[in-house]
Amino acid sequence: MTTFTAYVEWDDEVRLFVGVVPGIPGAHTQGATLDELRDNLRDVLELLAEEGELSADEAPRFVGLQQLEVAV
């Protein structure tokens, strides 16, 4: 088993949670609930692994997130 970290945000326009696994091309999806999003992300990662697009050796190492304040 390999652990992946997903970045999750809420999209007001489509009213869904959107998840992305940084560093894994194609590893993004959405869901109406966080549970649905988690299941969908797991399905995407498993599909990428089955297609040979993902291996445990290539999994990015999550370090952390930083929030920045910028005047816009």
Q: Residue 46's domain is classified under what CATH number?
A: 3.30.160
Residue 57's pLDDT is what?
82
The reply to whether 1 falls in a domain is no
The reply to whether 12 falls in a domain is yes
The reply to whether 45 falls in a domain is yes
The reply to whether 2 falls in a domain is no
The reply to whether 33 falls in a domain is yes
**Residue 49 to residue 54: CA distance in whole angstroms:** 5
Statement: residue 1 has pLDDT above 90: no
Number of domains the chain contains: 1
The reply to whether 63 falls in a domain is no
Tens of pLDDT, residues 22-69: 999 999 999 999 999 999 999 999 999 999 888 888 788 889 889 999
Residue 22's pLDDT is what?
92
Query: CA distances (Å), 3 to each of 11, 15, 26, in order?
Result: 25, 27, 17
The reply to whether 67 falls in a domain is no
Residue 29's pLDDT is what?
98
Tens of pLDDT, residues 4-21: 999 999 999 999 999 999
pTM confidence score = 0.84
**Residue 6 to residue 60: CA distance in whole angstroms:** 11
What range defines the domain where residue 52 resides? 7-58
- Using the structure block, give the residue that is written with the tokens 């040979």: 52
